[in-house]
Structure 1
Amino acid sequence: MSAVSPTPASPASSAAANPGIPTSAQSAPAAASWVFAEDFVPEGDAAAQARVEAEPLGVEPLSRGTVSALTFLAAAVQARAVVEIGTGTGQSGLALFAGMQPDGILTSVDLEADHQRQARRAFSSVGIASQRFRLIAGDALTVLPKLSDGAYDLVLVAGDTLEYRDYVEQGLRLLRHGGLLVVTHTLQGGRTADSSQDDDDTLAVRFALDAVTENEDLVAALLPVGDGLLAAVKR
Structure 2
Amino acid sequence: MDKRTYDAHAKAWACIENHEASREGDLVRKARAIAAARRLDPGSAAEGALLNTFTRMSGASSVIAIGTGALVETAQLVTGLHGTGKLTAVDSSAQGAAMVRALFDAIDDRTRTTLRVVNADPAVFLPRLNGDDYDLIVVGGEPSNYGAAYEQAPRLLKHGGLLVLTNALAMRGKDSKGGLTNPADRSPMATMMRELTATIEEDERFTCASTPTGDGLLIAAHC
User: Residue 127 of structure 2 corresponds to which residue in structure 1?
Assistant: 145
Which of the residues 190, 198, 217 maps onto 1:210? 198
State the percentage of identical aligned residues: 30
User: How far apart in 2 are the matches of 1:114 and 1:84?
Assistant: 16
User: How far apart in 2 are the matches of 1:49 and 1:165?
Assistant: 30
User: Residue 160 of structure 2 corresponds to which residue in structure 1?
Assistant: 178
Q: Aligned in 2, Cα 1:91/1:209: closer, same or farther, shift over 3 Å?
A: same
User: Residue 111 of structure 1 corresponds to which residue in structure 2?
Assistant: 92
CA contact (8 A) 2:67 2:145 kept: no
User: How far apart in 2 are the matches of 1:149 and 1:142?
Assistant: 15
- CA distances 1:78-116 after superposition (whole Å, capped 9, x unpaired): 110011112625211110122125321001111223323
User: How far apart in 1 are the matches of 2:159 and 2:3?
Assistant: 34
Q: How far 1:30 moved relative to its partner?
A: 3.3
User: How far apart in 1 are the matches of 2:112 and 2:98?
Assistant: 12
**Gaps in structure 1 of 5+ consecutive residues:** 1-22
- CA distances 1:181-207 after superposition (whole Å, capped 9, x unpaired): 001111122311321112222101111
Q: How far 1:31 moved relative to its partner?
A: 2.9
TM-score, reference length from structure 2: 0.85
Stretch of structure 1 that moved more, 182-191 or 26-35:
26-35
- Whichever structure has more helix as a proportion of its residues is 2
Q: Which runs of structure 2 are paired with 1:85-104 in the superposition (5 Å)?
A: 85-86=66-67, 88=69, 90-100=71-81, 102-104=83-85
Stretch of structure 1 that moved more, 67-76 or 193-202:
193-202
Q: Aligned in 2, Cα 1:24/1:94: closer, same or farther, shift over 3 Å?
A: farther
Q: Which runs of structure 2 are paired with 1:148-159 in the superposition (5 Å)?
A: 148-159=130-141
Q: How far 1:40 moved relative to its partner?
A: 2.9
CA contact (8 A) 1:79 1:101 kept: no
- Determine helix, strand or coil for the equivalent of 1:39: helix
* Alignment partner of 1:197 is 2:196: no
Q: How far 1:54 moved relative to its partner?
A: 2.0
User: How far apart in 1 are the matches of 2:99 and 2:148?
Assistant: 26
CA RMSD of aligned residues (A): 2.4
Q: How far 1:211 moved relative to its partner?
A: 1.8
* Alignment partner of 1:227 is 2:215: yes
Q: How far 1:169 moved relative to its partner?
A: 1.5
TM-score, reference length from structure 1: 0.81
User: How far apart in 2 are the matches of 1:159 and 1:128?
Assistant: 27
User: Residue 81 of structure 1 corresponds to which residue in structure 2?
Assistant: 62
User: How far apart in 2 are the matches of 1:192 and 1:57?
Assistant: 27
**Gaps in structure 2 of 5+ consecutive residues:** 172-177
Q: Aligned in 2, Cα 1:197/1:140: closer, same or farther, shift over 3 Å?
A: same
- Determine helix, strand or coil for the equivalent of 1:192: helix
Letter in 2 for 1:111: S
User: How far apart in 2 are the matches of 1:112 and 1:25?
Assistant: 41
Q: How far 1:128 moved relative to its partner?
A: 4.3
User: How far apart in 2 are the matches of 1:86 and 1:130?
Assistant: 23
Q: How far 1:118 moved relative to its partner?
A: 2.3
Q: Aligned in 2, Cα 1:203/1:26: closer, same or farther, shift over 3 Å?
A: farther
User: How far apart in 1 are the matches of 2:97 and 2:90?
Assistant: 9
Structure of higher RCO (CA pairs closer than 8 Å, 6+ residues apart): 1
